[in-house]
Amino acid sequence: MSAIEVAKTDLFYAGVVMLTGVACSIVAKRLRVPDIVLYLLAGMALGPALFGVVHVPADGTLNQLILTFGASYLLFDGGASLRFKVLKEVWITIVIISTLGVLVTGAITASAAWAFGIPAMTALLLGAAIASTDPATLVPIFKQVPIKDRVAQTVMSESAFNDAMGAIATFSVLGLVMGSGEGFSIGASLKELLWQAGLGIVIGGVAGYAACVLIAHEKFGFMREHLPLVTLMAVIGAYLTADGMQSSGFMAVFVFGIMIGNKESFGFALEDHEQENLEDFIGTTTLIMRMFIFILLGSQVDFALLKTCWQAGLATVLVFMFIARPLTVFICAGVDRRAKWSLRELLFMSWTRETGVIPAALAGMLVGMKVPGAEVVSAITFIAILMTILIQAPTTEWLAGKLGLLADEAKR
C-alpha cells in the first residue's frame, strides 16, 4: 500500500473514532457512566473481531504514538488537578502503595494464576504486568466523578507513580524467564526504581517550573499568548527527555502537571480568562485522547486468544480484584497513621484500581519479544482490562455515594 493510501486509511480511522466517540460521550452522559466504558465497548464492535471497520495493529506506529502521547497528556491533566495541600497529607500512603503495593498485588495474583494451572514463570510475569494501576483509565474517571479530594488524588497519584515499579518488576521477572542468570535483585531493583522515579520527578519539576515562568512570569512570560502550545511542547519534551535518560517519562509528565496546577504556590498566576482558556484546551485534548486510546484498545481485543485460557484467566482476575487489591490497600494505607484513613475510604480504594493502557503495553512488549507464555499473559491482561473497566468503572460513582465519599456529600 502506498504512503498516500496509508494516510487516507488512517484519516478514515480517525474520523470513525471521533464520530463514534462523540456519540458514546452523549450516551454516557445520559446513562451517567464513565465514557471510557462505552468507548471500550464501541471499539470491540468496530474491531476486526466483529464488524471490521477499524483495524489498527497494537504494534503499529500509529497505535504506539496514540498510546504514548495520549497516556502522557492524560497524566499531565491528572497531575494538574492535584494540590500540594492534599499530597502533603497522604504522601506516605502514595509512596508505600506505589512500591510495596505493586509487589503485594503481583505476588498474590501470580500465586492465584499458578494455583489455577498457569505455569509458574508465566504466572509471575502476569502478576508483575498487571500489578500497576492505569492512569489513562483512572484520571478520566475521577475527572467525571466528584470524589472526595484526598481519596481521588491518592488513587490518581498511585496510578502515576506505580508505573515505574510495575515495569521494573516485569523486566526483573523476565530475567528469570529468559534465563539471563541475573534473576531478581532487591538492591538492583531498588536502585533502578530510585533512578527512574527520582530522575523523572526532577525532569518534570524543571520542565514544570520553566513552563510556569514562560506562561505566567510578569517579565519573562513571553509565551503567555500561546498557553496551549506550551502544554503540548512541554508534555512531549518532558516525556522524551526522561525516557531518553532511561527514567520514567510518565513520572515526568505527571510531575510537570502538578507544577502547572500549583503554579500559584511559586508566585505565578494567570488572568481568569487565560486560566479558563487553558482549562478548555486541556479538557478538549484529553477528551480526544480518551476516545482514541479506549476505542482502539477495544478494537484490538483478540477473542480467539481469550478463549484459550478464559477459565483460568477469569478466576485469576477475580482474585486480583477481590483479594489482591483489598489486601494491598489495607496493608499499605493501613500503616499510614498520619493520613487517618477511614474504613469507608479504604473500601473505596480497594474497589478502584482499573487496569488499562500500561499493563496492555507491557503485555504487548512481552509478545513482541516472543517470551515463553507471553500469549497467555496478553490474554489474561485483556481479561483484567475488560473486567475492571466494564465492572469497576461504571460502579465508581454508585459506590462513592453509598460510602459518602462524593465531593458534595463530603462537604456536608
- 298 contact partners, CB below 8 Å, separation of at least 6: 39, 40, 41, 42, 43, 44, 45, 46, 47
> Is residue 129 predicted with pLDDT exceeding 80?
yes
How much of the chain exceeds pLDDT 90, in percent?
Answer: 47
Structural domain contains residue 276: yes
Residue at 337: amino acid letter: R
Cα distance between residue 410 and residue 147, in whole Å? 9
Q: Are 114 and 175 in contact (CB under 8 A)?
A: no
Q: What is the pLDDT of residue 360?
A: 81
Structural domain contains residue 60: no
Cell of 315: 478466576
The mean pLDDT of 54-59, rounded to a whole number, is 86
For residues 153 and 262, state if they share a domain.
Answer: yes
The mean pLDDT of 108-121, rounded to a whole number, is 95
**Please, what is the average pLDDT of the chain?**
88
For residues 160 and 49, state if they share a domain.
Answer: no
For residues 309 and 355, state if they share a domain.
Answer: yes
Residue 51 CB: number of other CB atoms within 10 A?
A: 11
Q: Are 355 and 297 in contact (CB under 8 A)?
A: no
| Beta strand ranges found along 48-119 (DSSP E) | none
The mean pLDDT of 128-145, rounded to a whole number, is 84
Structural domain contains residue 138: yes
Structural domain contains residue 84: yes
The mean pLDDT of 352-369, rounded to a whole number, is 81
- 294-308: buried (b, 16+ CB within 10 Å) or exposed (e) per residue? bbbbbbbbbeebbee
When divided into structural domains, the chain yields a total of 2
Q: What is the pLDDT of residue 188?
A: 72
Structural domain contains residue 390: yes
For residues 69 and 51, state if they share a domain.
Answer: no
The pLDDT confidence band at residue 189, using thresholds 50, 70 and 90, is: low
Q: How many residues does the chain have?
A: 412
Residue at 156: amino acid letter: M
- 121 contact partners, CB below 8 Å, separation of at least 6: 173, 176, 177, 372, 373
For residues 403 and 259, state if they share a domain.
Answer: yes
- Give the CATH number, domain containing residue 273: 1.20.1530.20
Structural domain contains residue 388: yes
For residues 36 and 90, state if they share a domain.
Answer: no
The pLDDT confidence band at residue 412, using thresholds 50, 70 and 90, is: very low
Domain span holding position 241 = 65-410
CA atoms within 13 A on the CB side of 86: 19
For residues 241 and 328, state if they share a domain.
Answer: yes
Q: What angle do CA 395, 397, 400 make, to 5 degrees?
A: 105
- Look at residues 206, 199, 260 and name the one whose alpha carbon lies nearest to residue 231: 260
Lowest mean pLDDT among 135-149, 178-192, 282-296, 340-354: 178-192
For residues 189 and 268, state if they share a domain.
Answer: yes
Find cell 471497520 and name the residue: 53
Structural domain contains residue 18: yes
Backbone angles phi, psi at 147, to 5 degrees: -90, 150
Residue 315 CB: number of other CB atoms within 10 A?
A: 17
If one compares 256 and 302, the residue with the highest pLDDT of the two is 256
Cα distance between residue 238 and residue 250, in whole Å? 9
For residues 50 and 85, state if they share a domain.
Answer: no
Cα distance between residue 277 and residue 224, in whole Å? 11
- Look at residues 348, 394, 357, 367 and name the one whose alpha carbon lies nearest to residue 155: 348
The pLDDT confidence band at residue 180, using thresholds 50, 70 and 90, is: low
For residues 243 and 183, state if they share a domain.
Answer: yes
Taking the CA atoms of the chain, what radius of gyration do you get in angstroms? 21
For residues 28 and 122, state if they share a domain.
Answer: no
For residues 148 and 278, state if they share a domain.
Answer: yes
Helix %, strand %, coil % of the chain (to 5): 80, 0, 20
Q: What is the pLDDT of residue 316?
A: 96
Alpha carbon 210 to its chain centroid, in Å, reads 25
